[in-house]
Amino acid sequence: MEKAASSSVERDSPSIWPGPFFTMSTTTVSTRLPFCLASSDYLLMIEPSDTRGCWVYFSTQGSGGILRTTARDLIDYPLGVQQVVQGAQYVEVGPGIGGFIPFLSQNAQTGRIPLPIAIDPANYLEMRRLLLDARAEELGDEVCQRLDILVERCNIMLDSRMVRLIPMRLEEAVRRFPDLAFCGDVVVSNNCIDIYGSPQERLLLDRLCKGSVFLR
């Protein structure tokens, strides 16, 4: 059963993201898609998608402009990373809420690989809170199922038994954690450094990688 349109707008409108990329109106923000919800730092967007039911992502203000945190599934990652290499140290720069790190974490639980390393300044606590708030909005079964998956991915990112999360930009991470140098057998940056990284960070990606597998 759908709730009245715009209920979330009225409650949240003072903090709705004022970014120029998005024109806000009460008809756009409704319990039907597209749906959005804002906190002080993030705007959660849920849009309809022909191919996968819905497309969920976050926008926030980065130092260089609007930054998106997306949630691609494992199938959307480069083909080469979908077969885990036994014993390999995996590093993902900018995992967001993608499906790759959770997939690796499961493999780490069985002892096939060491804990994966994730480098991302995203605020997973805040994003999880928004996902849970959206979950309460009765947006339909398909959306709820997707939100449950993404909440679980945030739980994994926040669990130090599942992943070594380094919650900062790559540049700072390499400066503060010298052990990251040449630590990765496989280094992945899916829709991150090429889009959001500084020129310096594009070079730094090489410094993470001791192996020959390097996918971006």
Ligand X SMILES: C[S@@+](CC[C@H](N)C(=O)[O-])C[C@H]1O[C@@H](n2cnc3c(N)ncnc32)[C@H](O)[C@@H]1O
Identify whether the C-beta of residue 44 lies closer than 8 Å to the C-beta of residue 15: no
Smallest distance from the beta carbon of 84 to ligand X, in angstroms?
A: 17
Q: What is the dihedral of CA 37, 43, 49, 53, to 10 degrees?
A: -50
DSSP codes, 95-145? -TT-SHHHHHHHHHHTTSSPPPEEE----HHHHHHHHHHHHTT---HHHHH
Between 170 and 183, CB nearer to ligand X: 170
Told to check if 67 binds ligand X by CB under 6 A, we report: yes
Residue window 135-174: x/- pattern of binding to ligand X, with contact defined by CB under 6 A: ----------------------------------xx----
Comparison of 92 and 137: residue with beta carbon closer to ligand X: 92
User: For residue 138, what are its two tokens?
Assistant: 């009765």
Residue closer to ligand X, measured from CB, 185 or 201: 201
For position 93 contacting ligand X by CB under 6 A, the verdict is: yes
The one among 38, 196, 204, 208 contacting ligand X by CB under 6 A = 196
Q: Does 118 bind ligand X (CB under 6 A)?
A: no
Q: Is 98 in the site for ligand X (CB under 6 A)?
A: yes
Inter-axis angle of helices 141-157 and 100-109, nearest 10 = 60
Footprint on this chain of ligand X (rule: CB under 6 A): 67-72, 93-96, 98, 119-122, 169-170, 190-192, 196-197, 201
